[in-house]
Amino acid sequence: MEALLGRMLQAGEHPGATLPLGRGVIGGAGALAVGTVGLWLCQPQLLGGPSVASVPLSSVGPAACRTSRFGGVVLQVELSGRRVRFSTPAALGDVEEFLRALDAARG
> For residue range 7-46, what is the model confidence (pLDDT) as tens digits?
999 999 999 999 999 876 555 679 999 999 999 999 887 7
Task: Identify residue 76 by its one-letter amino acid code.
Answer: Q
What is d(CA 20, CA 88) in angstroms, rounded to the nearest whole number? 6
What is d(CA 85, CA 37) in angstroms, rounded to the nearest whole number? 21
pLDDT at 73 (0 to 100): 95
- 48 pLDDT higher than 90: no
* Burial group, residue 73, by CB count within 10 angstroms (0-12, 13-18, 19+): buried
70 DSSP 8-state letter: T
**CATH number assigned to the domain covering 2-106:** 2.30.29.30
CA distances from 86 to 32, 46, 68, 72 (A): 9, 18, 11, 11
